[in-house]
C-alpha cells in the first residue's frame, strides 16, 4: 500500500460519514465488500464480529432506534503501517425518551487488502488501538 493510504481514504470515508449521519446506510456502506467485518468494542460477547455491509447497517440501525439524534465527526486520520488507517471519531447524540446527551470518543482501525477496506476494529482510546493493531 502506498504511504498515502490515509490521505486517499479520507475523502471516501468522509463521504460515507456524511451519508451515515443522514441515516443513509445503503450509501454509507455500499462500497464495502460482501466479506467486510466490523469488530465493535461494545458488541455482545456472543457475537464479536459483524459480517457484511447489510449486517453492519442493521447494527447501526439499532443505535438509531435508541438515539433520537446521532452524529459522528471524524477528527483525525493516521496511517498505521502499510495497510491500516486509524480514525478518531467524536460521536454525539441524544437518547430517545430521557433526552440524555451523549458524547463518545471512538478510535477505529480500518484494515485494507489492496485498496479495499476489509475490516474495522473499534477501541476506546488511541493507545489501545495502536497497541492492538499498530
- At 73-88, the pLDDT tens digits run 999 999 999 999 999 9
Which three three-digit cell numbers place residue 126? 488511541
Cβ count within 10 A of residue 44 = 7
Which domains, and CATH codes, for the chain? 5-133 (3.10.450.50)
Q: What is the 8-class DSSP label of residue 36?
A: -
Percent of the chain with pLDDT over 70: 93
The reported pTM is: 0.90
**pLDDT interval class at 41 (50, 70, 90):** confident
Q: What residues form DSSP beta bridges with 117?
A: 112
Amino acid at each position: 500500500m502506498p504511504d498515502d493510504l490515509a490521505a486517499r481514504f479520507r475523502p471516501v470515508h468522509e463521504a460515507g460519514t456524511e451519508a451515515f449521519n443522514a441515516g443513509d446506510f445503503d450509501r454509507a456502506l455500499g462500497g464495502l465488500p460482501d466479506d467486510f467485518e466490523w469488530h465493535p468494542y461494545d458488541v455482545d460477547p456472543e457475537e464479536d464480529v459483524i459480517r457484511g455491509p447489510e449486517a453492519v447497517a442493521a447494527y447501526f440501525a439499532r443505535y438509531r432506534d435508541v438515539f433520537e439524534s446521532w452524529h459522528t465527526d471524524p477528527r483525525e486520520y493516521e496511517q498505521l503501517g502499510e495497510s491500516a488507517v486509524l480514525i478518531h471519531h467524536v460521536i454525539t447524540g441524544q437518547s430517545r425518551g430521557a433526552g440524555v446527551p451523549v458524547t463518545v470518543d471512538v478510535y477505529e482501525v480500518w484494515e485494507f487488502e489492496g485498496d479495499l477496506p476489509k475490516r474495522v476494529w473499534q477501541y476506546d482510546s488511541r493507545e489501545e488501538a495502536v497497541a492492538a493493531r499498530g
